[in-house]
Amino acid sequence: MKKDFTTGIIQTGFSKKDAYNALQMPVYANAAFEFETAEQMADAFQGRSAEHTYSRITNPTVDYFEQRVRQITGGMSVTALNSGMAAITNVIIELAYAGANIVTSSHLFGNTWSLLNTTLAPFGLETRFCDLTNPEEVAANVDENTCAIFLEIVTNPHLEVADLKALSAVAKSKNVPLVADTTIIPFIDFHAKELGVDIEIVSSTKYISGGATSIGGLVIDYGTFNWKHSKKLADAAKQFGPMAFTAKMRKEIHRNLGAYMSPQTAQLQTLGLETVELRFRQASNSAKELAKRMKSLSGIKQVYHIGLEDHPFYAISKEQFGEYTGAMFTFALESQAACFEFLNKLKLIRRATNLFDNRTLIIHPASTIYGTFTQDQRDAMDIDDRLIRISIGLESVNDLFADIEQALV
């Protein structure tokens, strides 16, 4: 029987009955697992049985979190990492090789841009920046060494939304996987697989952690790409078929990089999943309502919200995400100085980074997330120093509006 989102999450069973009939998955906060015989130990280490061996590789509490996400997204496999950045790094290292290129946009979260440009470039990975809202331009950038087309489904903080079906058509025609960072819109009404995404990456720090309790990341493999077309995974494809990406991730990449999710985090995020639908819907509604009301304030030059009709990506956002377009939006003031003055006058809204806390958080991206980049790099990424990013929490819209109004005076 197909269940609705929250029912499906809450009713995901344990893979083994708990010894004490615990209703919540306990935290298995241990490093290693013991075996009765050397043969059983060898079977587990060589993948002939599914027993846990060591918590850098698998752990029952993390496994339960992964199974919940797998069931609700229809993913073929899910791997939980200890941050969104770890999830992105694992995926790119799995697909890339010296001489490969990755086709993406310069509109990326700052650390992702830096991962590609400064961390991985010296290993021989070329990053090709293009306009992902222009499928012809994307197609023209793909060649026989392209290991992936990578995008953020809503770019942070530019709020650019590419047409996933159009990108997927390009990716399919060129035999490259489409990899999407879907952090900004959780997998509730939005179904990455149906829109042609092969590998989905999520910073579960954001909506899923349940009010900013912990840092985490997810890699969801939909089993849709034929890995015989990947130069890096062609051999694995011969052995594992559609499981090639997952097999290499689980048997090599994630255990070698050593960034598996901790059981403590998995327990917090398992709990966060139980309320994510409620929190997401409320925060999305509040963000839209507040953005609408902020348009009437004369001190604000421009309000950008993908769920409002005047936004250039309104139509595609509605098509891909539905009515609920998330809790993040941006607005522009006169200057950086005006942004700082405004931020300093806020009494209720918190000056802090992060997204989708239960509290409303506000930040000036150019001087913080992008503050250590050079002006040239900021220009290349189109980071505007008059822009403020806000992430709406669960407070009342009236209280948030009153705080913004008083801080503009």
Burial class (CB in 10 A: 0-12, 13-18, 19+), 363: buried
Residues 6 and 274: beta-carbon distance below 8 Å: yes
Return the residue of 83, 117, 141, 230 that touches ligand PLP, per CB under 6 A.
Answer: 83
CA-CA distance, 382 to 185, in Å (whole number)?
A: 22
Q: How far apart are CA 148 and CA 104, in angstroms?
A: 9
The residue length of the chain stands at 409
Q: What is the DSSP letter of 147?
A: E
Minimum Å distance from CB 130 to ligand PLP?
19
By CB under 6 A, name the one of 12, 89, 203, 284 that touches ligand PLP: 203
By CB under 6 A, tell whether 223 contacts ligand PLP: no
Residue 296 CB, shortest distance to ligand PLP, in Å, is: 29
Q: Which of residues 135-154 bind ligand PLP (CB under 6 A)?
A: 152
| Residue 84 lies near ligand PLP (rule: CB under 6 A) | yes
Per CB under 6 A, 109 contacts ligand PLP? yes
Asked whether position 85 contacts ligand PLP by CB under 6 A, the answer is yes
Is 197 a binder of ligand PLP (CB under 6 A)? no
Q: Which is nearer to ligand PLP, 52 or 378 (CB)?
A: 378
Closest separation between CB of residue 87 and ligand PLP, Å?
Answer: 8
Q: Which is nearer to ligand PLP, 199 or 215 (CB)?
A: 215
Long-range contacts of 172-177 (CB under 8 A, 24+ apart): 172/196, 173/139, 174/139, 174/142, 174/146, 175/226, 175/229, 176/103, 176/142, 176/146, 176/147, 176/148, 176/149, 176/229, 177/95, 177/147, 177/148, 177/149, 177/225, 177/230, 177/245
# residues contacting ligand PLP (CB under 6 A)? 14
Residue 25 DSSP code = P
188 makes contact with ligand PLP (CB under 6 A): no
User: Is residue 90 involved in binding ligand PLP (CB under 6 A)?
Assistant: no
Interaction site with ligand PLP (CB under 6 A): 83-85, 109, 152, 156, 181, 183-184, 203, 205, 215, 217, 355
